[in-house]
Structure 1
Amino acid sequence: MSLYSALYAGVSGLGAQSTAMATVADNITNVNTVGYKGVTAQFSAMVTGSGSRNSYTAGGVTAAPQALISAQGILQSSARLTDIGMDGAGFFVVRSSTAPDAPIAFTRAGAFAPDKNGYLYNQSTGYFLQGWPLDANGNYVNNGSLDALRPVDINALSGSATATSTLSARINLQNSSPAVTAYTPGDMNSGTVTPAFSRPIDVYDSQGGAHTITLSFTRTGTNEWAMEVSGGGTLLRSGTVAFNGNGSLNLAGSTAGLFDNLTGIDWGNGTDLQTISLGLGSDGGLNGLTQTGEKSTLYSYEANGGLMGDVASVNISESGVVSAVFEDGTIRAIYQLPVATFQNPDGLTAISGNAYVASLDSGTPSINSAGVSGSGKIAAGKLEASTVDLAGEFTNMIRFQRAYSASSKIITTVDEMLQELGNIKR
């Protein structure tokens, strides 16, 4: 009977509008939730298939909530350096704890801060940020497996020691310095010849102990200098440095192998034998050793390594490299953050804590560094705002309320018609 189908259609309308109102309630209450993606109610007509030319059977309506997970929220500035936003496609990879077998989840809520142990986690949801640990050279291996990720621990290197592996310097030698009449390799190290210019540079062994390597120079002729590299009272390297007429370095005229790596350095304290790469300029360049009329001086130098103290702050680049800044000013890259992308991000399954898990509809995640293979870039010191449009939600609230009232009116009207039908018998 068509009247009964109209009654059921009214009931389905009440259910559908209730579902739609629930999405509005969730959206409005999460208007300030970081990384929240608004939910819309998609209405669909239900057809019984029993209609005919002379009668019609109502099917009603159903509502299917759809989260617009792929929508991009506005990136807003944050006062915390460890807060990160995603500019583009993709999700941060998180776990519910620091255990390596804890369940994996994906989120755009980047309000991360160190916990008491130094792990970056979302304080409001309790999820821990995951990344690839970097080796001493800043490298990592992406084998596509989520199991290779580890919780980001900003204190991972605190108290550890790294041996100096590179030493570079920019030094100018004055072309009017007096030339020595007699020189034998090792004379500056032994004190027989006083260097025209000499500078000590601190380096570190494998246990973080400080040592001094001294670069000494004395002019031996036109555009020609003797150089000695010494450390721990031992002569490590000596030879002739040649310069071109414009004061740039002439490698062809210099002693072969003079600028090669220093190998097998033994500090005599039980630490590992050390190899240090020398960066003293390129052939014909002005980026290392030079010779001009200016006074001999050390413009700049850099030697890595040392004993890592406490972490003073954290830097996160747009490519997702997490670097620890130590109290002595040393900066070390410690993690590479992955960005997980999906073929159908709107098909992800939402879970508590403003996070998602993969589903059959979303497909499996692809993990890459930020900005690679379609993944978004990371914005440090920013947070992604909720995608909810408050004005639009209030408009929807009015629509759904009116539709709910209209559906209830269908029920009361059908009830009156059925009552009239029952009165015919009387």
Structure 2
Amino acid sequence: MTISSSLNAGVAGLNANATRLATISDNIANSNTYGYKRASADFESFVIANNSGAGAYSAGGVRAETTRLIDERGALISTANATDLAVGGRGMLPVTTAVSLDSASGDQPMMMTTTGSFYTDSDGVLKTDSGLVLLAWPADADGTIPTFPRDTMAGLEPVVINANQTAGDPTTMMNLGVNLPAEDATETLPLSVEYFGNLGTSETLDMTFVPAAADNTWTFTINDSAQSGALIGEYTLVFDATRGNGGTLASVTPTANNPASATYSSADGTLALTVDGGPLEMTIGKIGDTNGLTQLSDNFAPTQITKDGSPVGNLTSVEVDDNGYITATYDTGFTRKIYQIPLVDVPNPNGLISMNNQTYQVSPDSGSFFLWDAGDGSTGAIVGYAREGSTTDVAGELTDLIQTQRAYSSNAKVIQTVDEMLQETTNIKR
């Protein structure tokens, strides 16, 4: 009967608008929630087949379909905490729950979020106040990130930053810029340069420049204090005296005392030395190069000596760059990458399962996840010192609220009218 279908349609309209009202109230309530994604209610009609020309119509009604608009991005808001993180574009941060870390089974749920304010707890674990633990790939001791699988959680670990962490950086490269006197070269010229061993110890390379009988010729020796002064390199240096290349190296020849492994590369002007901790590359300049060893004027002077490495230092701060690398800074000026945060992406972000605390999990509708380096593929950059704001537009939600209220009242009026008509039908029989 068409009058009863009108009643059913009115009730369905009340339910649908009540659902829309629920999404609006949720959006307004979370208008200041960091990382909140707006919920939307779309209406879909039900149609009951009617015989053409029958002169009667049966109302099918309406239903509400709710969607979480996860792919919408909120504005980035600056903060003062280096580990307040947001994603500037597509992709999400991998996280898990703090409770799962203490689980006896060892299984950790794969969750993701677009933003979070992370702080270290008493154990140094980087997590939010709500108990979300940040996951990342750990770096090796030399700061390089190994190759990890991209389609599983294997390799992801909770980020742990210990405030009392210490680290040293051994010296592996050294640039030696020294000028030797071109006149009155009769004395042995000593030079000591500090370098840092594998355990952060301070060692020295003790070098001497001895003038030879031939003009513009020197014997260059290198001894390592960490090996009780053992000889690790000895070379005959000949400098050019021509007008075009005067004062630059003309040749570098290993002497008979030189270790076989301590070779000179004319292609890049380096000596392959072996100190107590391992190989060390010393740049003295290519043939004809004015930036390495030179022989000009009558002054002996180290013009430029640089090296990598540092002594043992204490951790002072950590920061996250656009590519997701967590870099630790020590009080000696040494910096090192300790983790890399990948970005999680799925084919259909709106198909993810919404969880508490603005987190999401993979579902059949979202498709399988893939771990990207931040900035690669379709993913955006990871932004430190920032949080993502809510995607709620309060003005728009209030407008929808008024429309929903009127639609709800109209459906209630339909039900009231149907009730009156049914009463009239009952009165006819009396």
- Indicate the TM-score class for this superposition, using the shorter chain for normalisation: 0.7 to 0.9
1:152-204 alpha-carbon deviations (Å, 9 max, x no partner):
12239924555x25132352415546423xxxxxxxxxxxx631x62321312
CA distance in 2, matches of 1:211, 1:362: 57
Closer, same or farther in 2 for the Cα pair 1:212/1:409, shift >3 Å? Answer: same
Letter in 1 for 2:389: A
Residue 315 of structure 1 pairs with residue 327 of structure 2: no
Closer, same or farther in 2 for the Cα pair 1:48/1:238, shift >3 Å? Answer: same
- Is the CA contact (8 Å cut-off) linking 2:163 and 2:316 kept in structure 1? no
Letter in 2 for 1:42: D
Letter in 2 for 1:213: L
User: 1:36 corresponds to which residue?
Assistant: 36
CA distance in 2, matches of 1:153, 1:282: 45
Mapping of residues 20-419 of structure 1, within 5 Å? 20-50=20-50, 52-53=52-53, 54-97=55-98, 99=101, 101-123=107-129, 125-135=130-140, 136-144=142-150, 145-155=152-162, 158-159=165-166, 164-176=170-182, 178-180=184-186, 194-195=188-189, 198-205=191-198, 207-217=199-209, 220=212, 224-232=217-225, 233-241=229-237, 246=245, 250=249, 253-255=251-253, 257-258=263-264, 259-263=270-274, 265-266=275-276, 273-281=277-285, 285=289, 288-289=292-293, 296-304=301-309, 306-307=311-312, 309-419=313-423
- Is the CA contact (8 Å cut-off) linking 2:271 and 2:284 kept in structure 1? no
CA distance in 2, matches of 1:35, 1:165: 44
1:79-127 alpha-carbon deviations (Å, 9 max, x no partner):
111112211211111111373621110110232222222222122x311
What is the Cα deviation at residue 328 of structure 1?
Answer: 2.2
Contiguous gaps of at least 5 residues in structure 2:
255-262, 265-269
Aligned residues: 401
- Is the CA contact (8 Å cut-off) linking 1:134 and 1:140 kept in structure 2? yes
- Is the CA contact (8 Å cut-off) linking 1:91 and 1:106 kept in structure 2? yes
Letter in 2 for 1:93: P
Moved more, 222-231 or 335-344: 222-231
Contiguous gaps of at least 5 residues in structure 1:
181-192, 267-272
- Is the CA contact (8 Å cut-off) linking 1:51 and 1:57 kept in structure 2? no
Letter in 1 for 2:155: A
Moved more, 341-350 or 219-228: 219-228
Closer, same or farther in 2 for the Cα pair 1:104/1:8, shift >3 Å? Answer: same
Q: Secondary structure at the match of 2:196?
A: strand
Q: TM-score, normalised by structure 1?
A: 0.85
Letter in 2 for 1:102: Q
Closer, same or farther in 2 for the Cα pair 1:94/1:415, shift >3 Å? Answer: same
What is the Cα deviation at residue 324 of structure 1?
Answer: 0.6
- Is the CA contact (8 Å cut-off) linking 1:172 and 1:292 kept in structure 2? no
User: 2:267 corresponds to which residue?
Assistant: none
RMSD of equivalent CA atoms: 2.7
- Is the CA contact (8 Å cut-off) linking 1:24 and 1:393 kept in structure 2? yes
What is the Cα deviation at residue 305 of structure 1?
Answer: 5.4
Letter in 1 for 2:11: V
1:317-349 alpha-carbon deviations (Å, 9 max, x no partner):
111111111122211111111111111111111
- Is the CA contact (8 Å cut-off) linking 1:36 and 1:109 kept in structure 2? no
Closer, same or farther in 2 for the Cα pair 1:280/1:89, shift >3 Å? Answer: farther
Q: Secondary structure at the match of 1:262?
A: strand
Q: Secondary structure at the match of 2:116?
A: coil
Q: Secondary structure at the match of 2:387?
A: strand
CA distance in 2, matches of 1:201, 1:262: 15
Residue 9 of structure 1 pairs with residue 16 of structure 2: no
Q: TM-score, normalised by structure 2?
A: 0.85
Letter in 2 for 1:208: G
What is the Cα deviation at residue 351 of structure 1?
Answer: 0.7
CA distance in 1, matches of 2:347, 2:239: 59
What is the Cα deviation at residue 261 of structure 1?
Answer: 3.2
The percentage of aligned residue pairs carrying the same residue is 35
Q: Secondary structure at the match of 1:140?
A: coil
